[in-house]
Amino acid sequence: MKKFVVLGLLVSVVGWQFTVVSYAGVPLNNLEGVGGIAFNPLAYLVNAGSKWKKETPKTETVEKPEEGSKKAYDGFGLLSKISKPQAGAWYVRLPQAHVDWTALGTAFSIGDRLEISYGWEAVAPHGASTIYKNNIGAKLLLIPENAGDHKFIPAVSIGNILKITDDVPSGTKSVGDDIYLVATKLIKETPLPVLVSGGLIATNSRTTGVFGYDHNYRFTWFANADVILFKHLAVGYEYKQGAKYHGWHDADYQDVHAAWLINDKLTLVGAWVYAGDQKSKSEVGLGNGFTVSLHYGF
């Protein structure tokens, strides 16, 4: 009986610890700059809780500075609607394909509804010219998480990523885009908090656009699951289905990752990545490898 009492107290203490934890690292800036994990977007907006200027409560009166005052006055409340930016840096090493992949991204949100992002990628295959890729993203939060005080409702967002790649193979386009719908939910009722997410993408990207863009679009799906193990540590799994075009079939992408939430602004991530069989004749795979990334929310 005493063992059950002690166990109950332990579970209660651990549960309390996770209810007060700050989930600083979610979402990250993914490889294309969008608020997500590594490959996939999340429905959450980046750094939405951090504003340049906090909104003034309606019960308070804001006095306009006297003429000649140097004090900044945000008369339209714009600074209280725009979040501070968040930035992330990735390094991916795929030794089987002899590829070094570097990515830098930044994003901010407006009015807790719209996310604007930019991502820059440099993909350096051994013995070939480096491929540069630019991504401009917009994500609209359609349904906030727990809308109407219903704990079972996930956050739902729709987004678009405009992609531009230089030096694409003959027969492909240099400009393409992804249109996605994603739902994300943090489940706190489980013994450990679990973040689950999934969605659909309409894409014409070949290997995320590194090898250009097809003339047709295909629907693929993606999913994520992360468990908050300790106050500053989360581990998870990510999956992204590869698109199949006429004469081209991208491999499915997967990764197992761990995120160290250093503080409420800084997150360090390490992951093992599998991007398909590099020797396969039926699909375009880049083999396995590892990635590290660092993220900072201002």
Classified as helix, coil or strand, 149 is helix
Distance CA 178, CA 287 (A): 23
Domain membership flag for residue 63: no
Q: Residue 110: inside a domain, yes or no? A: yes
Torsion angle of the four alpha carbons 259, 262, 266, 271, in this order, in degrees rounded to the nearest 10: -20
Please report whether residue 282 resides in a domain: yes
70 C-beta neighbours (distance < 10 Å), count: 5
Residue 54's pLDDT is 66
Bridge pairing between strands 194-205 and 213-230: antiparallel
User: Strands (DSSP E) along 188-241, which ranges?
Assistant: 194-205, 213-230, 233-240
The CATH code of the domain that includes 183 is 2.40.160.40
How many structural domains is the chain composed of?
Answer: 1
DSSP 53: S
Structural domain of residue 252, as residue ranges? 2-53+78-297
CB atoms within 10 A of CB 202: 15
Residue 62 lies in a domain: no
CA 38 to chain centre: 6
Other beta carbons within 10 angstroms of residue 264's beta carbon come to 13
Burial class (CB within 10 angstroms; exposed 0-12, middle 13-18, buried 19+) of 115 = buried
Count of alpha carbons within 13 angstroms of residue 19, beta-carbon side: 9
Tracing tokens 């991204």 back to the chain, one arrives at 105
Specify if 68 maps to a domain. Answer: no
Burial of 247 (0-12, 13-18, 19+ CB in 10 A): exposed
| CA neighbor of 85 nearest in space, from 113, 127, 50, 120 | 50
pLDDT at site 76: 57
DSSP 8-class letter at 7: H
| 231 inside domain | yes
Mean pLDDT by 10 residues, the chain (298 residues): 39 38 70 96 92 63 51 59 95 95 97 96 93 98 93 96 96 97 95 96 97 97 95 95 96 96 93 93 94 95
Write down the pTM of the prediction: 0.84
Single-letter residue type at 193: P
70 part of a folded domain: no
CA distance 23 to 19: 10
Q: Is residue 59 part of a domain?
A: no
Q: Are 276 and 286 in contact (CB under 8 A)?
A: yes
